Chains A and B, each alone.
Chain A
Amino acid sequence: MSAANQASAVSTQHWPRSGNRSKRVLPGFGLSLGISLFFISLILMLPLTGLVIEVSAMSFNEFWFVITDPRVVASYKVTALSALAASVFNGAFGLLLAWVLVRYEFPGKRLIDAVVDLPFALPTAVAGITLATLFAANGWYGQWLAKLGIEVAFTPVGIVVAMAFTSLPFVVRTVQPVLEELAPEDEEAAVSLGASDGHVFRRVIFPALWPALMTGVALSFTRSLGEFGAVIFIAGNMPYVSEVTSLMIFVRLQEYDYAAASAIASVVLLVSLVMLFAITLWQSRYLKRIEGR
């Protein structure tokens, strides 16, 4: 018997005429849900619907032609591979950063904690320009890298750098709270059973962080797929080499080909949605096992 049913059973005992309708204990459910749904429709669903309508004006052949254009296909590859590299890098570095921020006390910890969010706060174009300047052949970082024969700015590597920069907070901010809530007892239990530090991390800590880390990496990946502002300044934007998909959308828009822009956008959207659903599904199955629901 659910709590709501019990509550109604009690209320019918006290007020036999008030009927059987179960009442929620927390007030404001209708209003808050209504407002939430309204805004979700306004901000998310409406533009998406617009996109679908725009695309549906095209025939399937036209649509297919636009999205399989060789230059666009090349951009998919560049975008997906760069996003993958950036999110894998963030997975490792973000985990390290979260670990340091949760596990150790050191001066300046609060400052670093605040700086982690900088990529969210900074306009991505500003980030792009800054990164391009730093990594240019005569920039602060670029001049040293150039001596080693590494070119970053205006190459696909630059795209990875920009994507990693803008999506780092996703990993840190998803892993951090989970790491904070890890019971110290679990580690103590593992150590008392004779496990080495490495063994404790691999077998006890990492599996607990794994779902959060995967979510963070997936968010970082989907965000990178659509990154525009930070990327275009550092990418060099050479067709077939360093053009990202979001740039292709922008190019089509500049040609006033709204339908084609929407078609390409719908591909990005689809991939992002599939990614998010997949990760949510996987995570809920993983957590179901751990939490025994």
Chain B
Amino acid sequence: MSITVDGINKRFGNYQALNNVSLDIPEGKLTALLGPSGSGKTTLLRIIAGLESSDSGRISFSGKDVTGLHVRDRNIGFVFQHYALFRHMTVAQNIAFGLDSLPRTRRPSKAEIQARVSELLDMIQLPHLAQRYPAQLSGGQKQRVALARAIATRPKILLLDEPFGALDAKVRKDLRRWLRNLHDEFHFTSIFVTHDQEEALELSDQVVVMSQGNVEQVDEPIELYARPDSRFVFDFLGQVNALSGAIQHGRLSQGKAWVTLPGVRDQGDAQLYMRPHEVRLASAPDARANLPLRIEAVSLIGAEVRIELSPVGWHSESSDDIWEVSISHAEFNRQRPTRGDLRYAVPEIGHLFTGKNTRPSPVTWAEEEHCRAQALCPS
């Protein structure tokens, strides 16, 4: 079932939680609603589920208007962040709840319900815990039971509100993979809410980035990461190294720092954004940039070495006035950067935001250097 969200508005008192939100969620896709807290993502999910009503706008499932339909008649599976398992029921009773709740005419027989429950218990790999109570389960187990309970009645739509938010990192990773397989196997149309950009980018087919009740961008994860539409999305999707200053004659400068911007004709205030992997560290400035930075911390954990640096003689607008650069372990072993060293950042790829433009324009240097070396540059 596809889901259409059409012009949804929602106010809580003076607070505009959702501002004319429209969305198309294609059938069979796993969609992430991503945004910081207060961006309206959970409210939107609850409105789609029917747990919350909207002030105006329409929700339709496969073209059928369900705006006025009660949550119990929408036939959706909903998974809560804190599981919301019924504490006084065993795992098996919890899973059977949706089937037990069907009106008598549509309710399967006791034996059929039992068969369905044990099938689901096998699927979540917890058949040995059927008679346990929720309090005796770990967080990951509880969330799997909650999922089994939500899909027991075979809904076409699965909605998950921060499903992994309360779990620790390792369990979260396992469950993520498991949810992806589940989704691929059963072909639900799924929407999950998260504030974790990594989770959204890794798990989903489509990401909806939200901020302050508005949809900022809807895209596939790869597109979204490579081509963010706005400063907000750029910022939200990961660490950003920023230089903001004024452009004059193709050069962006602020204090001691400057960067040449080949092919840029704009003048005036601008910000250059770069991801940690789009920057290289050198021991001296070169023709394309002068960005002196002092090494504050070196973290060797992970696939890459992460180096935190603070600007010298200028300031950055990114988080805490800190730049982050990632280099390979091999590179690290060659350079041996240590705390307190002075380094110069050399941008490889940049994203320039100028004036009122919300979309960034890409900036690359390699070509220019190439042409300069050949003395072929157009003046």
Interface set of A (CB-CB < 8 Å, partner B): 183, 185-186, 188-196, 199, 203-204, 207-208, 289-293
Contact = CB atoms under 8 A, between A and B. Distances in A.
Nearest to A293: B135
Interface string B126-150: 0000000111100000000010011
Given A194-B102, A195-B101, A290 B78 contact: no
Contact of B72 (A191, A207, A289, A290): A191
Contacts, number: 81
Nearest to A192: B78
Interface in B145-171: 146, 149-150, 152-153
B84 A188 contact: yes
Nearest to B79: A189
Contacts of A189: 78, 80, 84-86, 146, 149
A207 B89 CA distance: 9
A194 B98 contact: yes
Contact of B101 (A185, A194, A291, A293): A194
Interface string B65-84: 00000111101111010101
B71 A186 contact: no
Interface residues of B, number: 34
Question: Which one of B71, B88, B98, B146 has the greatest number of beta carbons of chain A within 10 Å?
Answer: B88
B153 A193 contact: yes
12 contacts: A185-B80, A186-B84, A188-B78, A188-B80, A188-B84, A190-B97, A192-B49, A192-B50, A289-B88, A290-B87, A290-B88, A291-B87
B86 A204 contact: yes
Nearest to B88: A207
The 4 closest A-B pairs by CB, nearest first: A292-B135, A193-B98, A195-B101, A185-B84
Contacts of B134: 292
Given A185-B80, A290-B133, A208 B97 contact: no
A199 B134 CA distance: 20
Nearest to B136: A292
Contact of A290 (B77, B84, B135): B135
A165 B87 CA distance: 34
B72 A196 contact: yes
B51 A192 contact: yes
Interface string B37-59: 00000000000011100000000
A193 B150 contact: yes
Given A191-B70, A191-B71, A194-B101, 11 more contacts: A185-B82, A188-B51, A189-B86, A189-B149, A192-B50, A192-B71, A192-B77, A193-B97, A195-B72, A203-B97, A292-B136
Contacts of A289: 88, 133
A290 B134 CA distance: 8
Contacts of A203: 86, 97, 100-101
B150 A183 contact: no
B126 to A, nearest CB: 16
B160 to A, nearest CB: 12
